[in-house]
Structure 1
Amino acid sequence: MTEASAVASFRRVTPGIVASARLAMANDVPDTTKSEIALLLKKAAPVLGIDGTTYHVMDILLGLSRADDWKGSGRPIVAISNAKLAEYTMRSERTVIRCIRRLVEAGIAAYRDSSTGRRFVYRNDQGEVVAGFGIDFTPARVRVEELTRVVARYQQRLAIELAAKRDIARLSRAIEDMCVAFPDETADVRAELAAIGLLKIDIVARAKETQLLHDRVVGSLPSEHIPFNMASEGDISVTPIINTTLESPSESKNERTRSNERDHNLHNDRYAADLAFEKKLSANPAVEQETFGVAQRDVDTVQGEILGSVSVGLLQAACPEAQAMIGTQFDSWATLSRSGEVLRRMIGLSEAGWADGKQKVGSYAAAAILATVLEKSIRDPEQISKPGGYFRAMIDRALEGKLNLERSLFGLADNRYGKTQK
């Protein structure tokens, strides 16, 4: 088929559309696979500014493309009408048109318009495209190496920013500890710490300024006043589980009783949450009435119910695709919680939606739900048309006491093991 990419005269051409059209006309197109490019584009979505409905539209278009068109001289052209896309996404046709335009201007797709504006693909007996008009993803094939580098840099920058956030939190607590312990020597330190938070600098620079303030405060104290082991981040009295050997969840369900497993997980996973909850109740008995009433339940109680029989090992076994997408292994609850920011970007969830979920069910439970939603959306994009809405629905079910996260995770893990055995 011809490699020329025609843009219809009725379109308002922008530099981004022209650049994508030129990429679509390239002759030297590297081979890739549909699954590889889909995973790469989802990882690159935050960098390219693709989120919300645009992310959903991209997911549908990639799913409709043929695997063979991503190799050799093939052109991954998707011929679907705006009306059908609007029906799939439950959005208006104007919204769909804007979303496709964003994909084109982002440089991962190009318009291949017919003279009438209709989208269709003709193939020969071998399944090769003879003539095709629609949305052409050849630019994504051409840019596969560039996008791989972009994703690597983005994930590296994200890791640096997450480390900076942890440093700021740790050092701020340490500074506050010194201010409380030595008020005379640290009279103006709180004001300086607040001023650093108001500076219009990036988070890495703010972490450096906080480190400098911390070092200066420590240096200004007499040697006998320098505290030890201040504000240790992540301290917890839970005994770690060092046996990380996993077995098939289907086999484990057949070989042991659920009561022993539930007791074991309750002791290890809910100890910290239950301890904090008991302290709150002892301090304010009125909270107990509100917690078990109809109006409101305590967040620690909800988190304990969700994670009562869910272990980190189960999450790790059930969510391999989600871990591969964000480049992080769920080897601890702290790691899972820190991955929440990346996970919510992968499903197009807003910051407000993520903060609301953590406030309602706790950071660990919200991150576990988020990982489950991402895993399901990767495996079956058509089943979950709106991952962000699916996450909010699961949060609501958790508040009602109707969420069975353990069953969902066992189902994902069983499907994974079943595919592996086949």
Structure 2
Amino acid sequence: MAQSMEIASFRRITPGILASARLAMANDIPETSKAEVAIILKKAAPILGIDGSTYHIMDILIGLSRADDWKGANRPIVAISNAKLAEYTCRSERQVTRCIRRLVEAGIVAYRDSPTGRRFVYRGKDGDISKGYGLDFTPAQVRIKELKALVDEFQARLNSEQEARRTVTRLSRAIVDACEAYPELAARWSEELERVKGLGLNLEEEAAALEDMHTGIVAEVTDEYVQHDMSAEGDIGVSPNINTTSQNSIESKNERPRSIEREISSQAYDRFAVAASTEKKSELIRPHVEASRGEKRSTSVDEIQSSVLASVSVGLLRAACPQACEMAGKEFRSWPELAAAAPVMRVMIGLSEAGWVDGVGRVGRYAAAAILATVLEKSARSPDQISSPGGYFRAMIDRAVEGQLHLEKSLFGLADGAFKRGAGSTQ
């Protein structure tokens, strides 16, 4: 098939469209597969600004392409009309046109227009495309290494931000606890904490500033007590006992500061949260967003979470959602690992951060993450059946709050489907 690219005269040409056309004319195409490119494109969607309807349309186009067209010298061309895409996605044709244009300008699809503007594909006896006009995914193949690097960098940034967010939360609590333990110094420390919070630093910078502040607080109270206990003022002719062990700030109190209690609790949480029974799970997995709410509300959320996850295990989730695991880059071996993948999965279904926070606040962090993984898996398997994955997530949250969600049934169905597809592929 000729490698020349034709763009219809009715299109308004932009630098992004021309760049995609040049990529589509490349002859040196890396050896890739449809599955590999599909996974990379879905992971790179947040980086490329592809979300909502555009993401949905990209998913449909990839699904319509043939696996053999991604191999060798073939070109993965998809010939489907905008009207049919509008019918699949429940969107207008104008919106579909805009979404396709975003995919082209993002550098993953190229226009391959016929003289009449229609899209069609002619295949030879061997099934290869002899002539085709439509939407060409060759630019995505050519950029596969670049996209992989972008995805790795994006994932590393997400992990760094998540760790910094945890550090900020932990140290802020520790400083507040120190203020309660030392009322005479609380005003100065509180003022310094507010000053750091008001500097407008990013998460990494704020975490570093709080780390320095916390280290200074520990050194200040420790030095204060060392100097007090080891003071030799008024002694004459008596050398200090250098073998005396100084009493530290923790030992000088009848009770340990609450930051130590929370640190121990956090270690126990990481170690035993998954193995805990559903009755005790609520005490270990209370989401951070509920900390500032009333006790009655927290108990209600814990009960909902325990009810949703009563018959759900991490192993079941892993078996039922293999595509979600692959797209999120996690294996879902524990509840904390599942929750850590939520930011990536949220972006992949086009769910806003406010929608995610609301879901966590209503059903709990782990229940919301389990529902999110289920929605991502369903939308990846049947994108034409779920026109709005974000709305589907919110609907499942509502059903969970009402006590009408049976998540285990959905997961068993997905696991059965994954098993049948795996058995079919081995035959």
TM-score tier (shorter): 0.7 to 0.9
* Cα distance, 1:65 vs structure 2: 0.9
The residue number in structure 2 matching 1:261 is: none
The residue number in structure 1 matching 2:327 is: 325
Q: Given that residues 266 and 309 in structure 1 are in contact (C-alpha distance below 8 angstroms), is that contact kept between their aligned partners in structure 2?
A: no
The residue number in structure 2 matching 1:342 is: 344
The residue number in structure 1 matching 2:260 is: 229
* Cα distance, 1:28 vs structure 2: 0.8
Gaps of 5+ in 2: 226-247, 251-256, 287-293
* Cα distance, 1:266 vs structure 2: 3.0
Q: Given that residues 238 and 271 in structure 1 are in contact (C-alpha distance below 8 angstroms), is that contact kept between their aligned partners in structure 2?
A: no
Structure with larger Rg:
2
The residue number in structure 1 matching 2:374 is: 372
Identity level (%): 56
Residues 32 and 394 of structure 1: CA distance in aligned 2, closer, same or farther (over 3 Å): same
Q: Are 1:387 and 2:389 counterparts?
A: yes
The residue number in structure 1 matching 2:363 is: 361
Residues 31 and 85 of structure 1: CA distance in aligned 2, closer, same or farther (over 3 Å): same
Taking structure 2 as the reference length, what is the TM-score of the superposition?
Answer: 0.84
The residue number in structure 2 matching 1:190 is: 190
Q: Given that residues 346 and 356 in structure 2 are in contact (C-alpha distance below 8 angstroms), is that contact kept between their aligned partners in structure 1?
A: yes
The residue number in structure 1 matching 2:152 is: 152
Q: Given that residues 273 and 285 in structure 2 are in contact (C-alpha distance below 8 angstroms), is that contact kept between their aligned partners in structure 1?
A: no
Structure 1 residues 187-227: Cα deviation after superposition (integer angstroms, max 9, x where no partner) = 22223223323333321122111111111222221343355
The residue number in structure 2 matching 1:312 is: 314
Q: Given that residues 177 and 231 in structure 1 are in contact (C-alpha distance below 8 angstroms), is that contact kept between their aligned partners in structure 2?
A: no
C-alpha distance in structure 2 between counterparts of 1:242 and 1:201, whole Å: 35
- Aligned partner of 1:415: which letter? G
Q: Are 1:60 and 2:81 counterparts?
A: no
The residue number in structure 2 matching 1:257 is: none
C-alpha distance in structure 1 between counterparts of 2:404 and 2:34, whole Å: 37
Structure 1 residues 345-387: Cα deviation after superposition (integer angstroms, max 9, x where no partner) = 1211111211121122111111110011112222333333322
Residues 48 and 193 of structure 1: CA distance in aligned 2, closer, same or farther (over 3 Å): same
Q: Given that residues 6 and 113 in structure 1 are in contact (C-alpha distance below 8 angstroms), is that contact kept between their aligned partners in structure 2?
A: yes
C-alpha distance in structure 2 between counterparts of 1:331 and 1:268, whole Å: 20
Q: Given that residues 109 and 138 in structure 1 are in contact (C-alpha distance below 8 angstroms), is that contact kept between their aligned partners in structure 2?
A: yes
C-alpha distance in structure 2 between counterparts of 1:241 and 1:341, whole Å: 21
The residue number in structure 2 matching 1:136 is: 136
* Cα distance, 1:229 vs structure 2: 2.6
Residues 117 and 174 of structure 1: CA distance in aligned 2, closer, same or farther (over 3 Å): same
Residues 203 and 238 of structure 1: CA distance in aligned 2, closer, same or farther (over 3 Å): closer
The residue number in structure 1 matching 2:125 is: 125
**Equivalent position SS for 2:111:** strand
Q: Given that residues 20 and 107 in structure 2 are in contact (C-alpha distance below 8 angstroms), is that contact kept between their aligned partners in structure 1?
A: yes
Q: Where does 1:210-359 land on structure 2 (aligned, <5 Å)?
A: 210-221=210-221, 222-223=224-225, 224-225=248-249, 229=260, 231-232=262-263, 234-236=266-268, 240=272, 265-267=277-279, 269-270=281-282, 272=284, 298-359=300-361
Q: Given that residues 269 and 307 in structure 1 are in contact (C-alpha distance below 8 angstroms), is that contact kept between their aligned partners in structure 2?
A: no
Alignment RMSD = 2.7
The residue number in structure 1 matching 2:244 is: none
Gaps of 5+ in 1: 244-263, 275-282, 292-296
The residue number in structure 2 matching 1:415 is: 417
Structure 1 residues 154-195: Cα deviation after superposition (integer angstroms, max 9, x where no partner) = 111111111111111111111111011112123222232233
* Cα distance, 1:329 vs structure 2: 2.6
Residues 64 and 397 of structure 1: CA distance in aligned 2, closer, same or farther (over 3 Å): same
**Equivalent position SS for 2:305:** helix
C-alpha distance in structure 1 between counterparts of 2:83 and 2:77, whole Å: 18
Q: Given that residues 270 and 307 in structure 1 are in contact (C-alpha distance below 8 angstroms), is that contact kept between their aligned partners in structure 2?
A: no
The residue number in structure 2 matching 1:17 is: 17
